[in-house]
Amino acid sequence: MAIFVAIFLALLVAAGVLLAASVASSAKDKGESPFRTFRTAWSGRKNPDTDQRAAADAAAVEPVDLSLAQFLRETVDEGEAYLQVDDLAATLQRARDKAAGVLPGNRNR
């Protein structure tokens, strides 16, 4: 019995979502209902447009077999590091000094 209640609630929620989508449709939707949009997309599986074909072609490309170490060696960046250790140390020292200044019993502000 609990399974039927769960299925009924799921169907009720799905119907509510479709109803909310149809109410929330804007003028830029050209007056198409969510059902019509779904049917159009479903029939588009047989005749995909150029974007769908490009996505399918990109997904069909064979992956490159590459180890993590080799990938990191080949993509190493010789430029300046994003995080400077000296700047980080100075920031942590200032934060430590501020935190120590507000502790009870520490009058070195």
Per domain, the residue ranges of the chain are 13-22+32-77
pLDDT reported for residue 30: 64
**pTM for this prediction:** 0.29
Residue 18's contacts (CB-CB under 8 Å, 6 or more residues apart) are: 34, 35
* DSSP SS3 for 1: coil
Report residues of the chain scoring pLDDT below 50.
Answer: 27
Could you give the CA distance from residue 68 to residue 19 in angstroms, rounded to a whole number? 48
Residues contacting 100, CB < 8 A, separation 6+: 106, 108
